[in-house]
Chains A and B, each alone.
Chain A
Amino acid sequence: MIGVMGAFGGFLTMLALMFSGLPVAVSLFIIGVLGATLYLGTPTLMVFGGQAWGSLNDFVLTAIPLFILLGELLVRSGVTDGMYRSLSDWLRRLPGGLLHSNVASCTLFAAVSGSSVATAATMGTVAVPIMKERGYDERITLGSIAAGATIGILIPPSINMIIYGSMSNTSIGQLFVAGIIPGLMLSGMFMLYILIVAVIRPAIAGTPIPIAPLSVKLRNLLDILPPMAIFGLVMGSIYLGWATPSESAALGVMGALMVTMAKRRFSIALLHGALLATVKLTAMILLIIIAAKYLNFIIGILGIPQVLARTITEYGVSQLQLILILVLFYLVLGCFLETLSMMIATIPIVVPVIVSYGIDPVWFGVFLVVMMEVALITPPLGMNLYIVQGVRTSGSIVDVMIGALPFAAIMLGMVALLILFPGIALWLPEQMFDRPLR
Chain B
Amino acid sequence: QTQLRVAGNFSQNQKHVGIESGFFADLGAASGVDVVANYNPMDVVGVQASDAFRMLRSGTFDVMSVQIGMASRDDPFFEGIDLIGVSTDMEALRAAVDAYRAAFDARLQARFNAKVLTLWPFGPQVFFCNAPIETLEDLQGLRIRSFTPSMSAMIEHFGATPVTLQFSEVYPALQRGVVSCGVTSPTSANTGNWPEVTTHLLPLAVSGSVQGHFINLNAWNRFSEEEQIALQDAFAALEDQLWELALTANGDAVSCSTGGECVEHKPFDMTLVEIGDADQAAIAEVAETVVLPIWRDTCNAVDPNCSTVWNETVGAARGLEIR
Q: Do chains A and B touch in the complex (CB under 8 A)?
A: yes
Partner of A241, one of B5, B178, B193: B178
Tell me the complex Cα distance, A303–B38, Å. Answer: 8
Please indicate the chain A residues that have their CB under 8 angstroms from the CB of B47 in the complex: 297
Question: How many Å from the CB of B177 to the closest CB on chain A?
Answer: 7
The CA of A377 and the CA of B54, in the complex, are separated in Å by 46
Q: How large is the interface on B (under 10, 10 to 19, 20 to 34, 35 or more residues)?
A: 20 to 34
Distance between Cα atoms of A1 and B38 in the complex (Å): 9
Q: A43-B60, A47-B58 are in contact. Are A438 and B51 (CB under 8 A)?
A: no
Q: Is the CB of A300 within 8 A of B12?
A: no
* In the complex with contacts A47-B60, A173-B172, A241-B172, A54-B48 CB distance below 8 A: yes
Assess whether A313 is interfacial by the CB under 8 Å rule. no
CB distance from A24 to the nearest CB of B (A): 19
- Complex Cα gap A54–B38 (Å): 23
**Residue contact A301 to B58, C-beta cutoff 8 Å:** no
Is B103 interfacial (CB-CB < 8 Å)?
no
Question: Is B176 a contact partner of A54 (Cβ separation < 8 A)?
Answer: no
Chain A residues contacting B38 (CB-CB under 8 Å) are 1, 301, 303
A225 to chain B, nearest CB (A): 26
Contact B40 A300 (CB under 8 A): yes
Q: Which residues from chain A contact B165 at a C-beta distance below 8 Å?
A: 244
| Residue A329, interface by CB 8 Å | no
CA distance A241 to B172 in the complex (A): 6
Interface members, chain A 15-45 (any B CB < 8 Å)? 40-41, 43-44
Q: Is the CB of A434 within 8 A of B196?
A: yes
User: Are A54 and B51 within 8 A (Cβ)?
Assistant: yes
A146 CB to nearest chain B CB (Å):
36
Q: Does B45 contact A (CB under 8 A)?
A: yes
The reply to whether B45 and A300 contact each other, CB–CB distance below 8 Å, is yes
Known: A241-B172, A300-B40, A436-B193. A46 touches B177 (CB 8 A): no
A352 touches B44 (CB 8 A): yes
Find residues 361-376 in chain A having any chain B CB closer than 8 Å to their own CB.
none
Q: Does A320 contact B (CB under 8 A)?
A: no
Contact between chains at A297 and B169 (CB < 8 Å)? no
- Given A43-B59, A301-B5, A303-B40, A242 contacting B178 (CB threshold 8 A): yes
* Cβ-based interface call for A141 (8 A): no
A144 at interface, CB cutoff 8 A: no
What 3 A-B pairs come out closest when comparing CB atoms? A241-B176, A300-B45, A43-B59
21 pairs of residues in contact across A and B, judged by CB atoms under 8 Å: A43-B58, A43-B60, A46-B58, A46-B60, A47-B55, A47-B58, A47-B60, A54-B46, A60-B166, A169-B43, A171-B168, A241-B173, A242-B176, A244-B165, A296-B46, A297-B47, A300-B40, A300-B45, A301-B45, A303-B40, A433-B172
Please list the residues of chain A having a beta carbon within 8 angstroms of any beta carbon in chain B. Answer: 1, 40-41, 43-44, 46-47, 50-51, 54, 59-60, 169, 171, 173, 240-242, 244, 293, 296-297, 300-301, 303, 352, 433-434, 436, 438
12 additional A-B pairs beyond A60-B166, A296-B46, A297-B46, beta carbons within 8 Å, are A44-B60, A46-B58, A47-B58, A50-B54, A54-B46, A241-B172, A241-B178, A244-B165, A244-B172, A296-B45, A300-B40, A300-B44
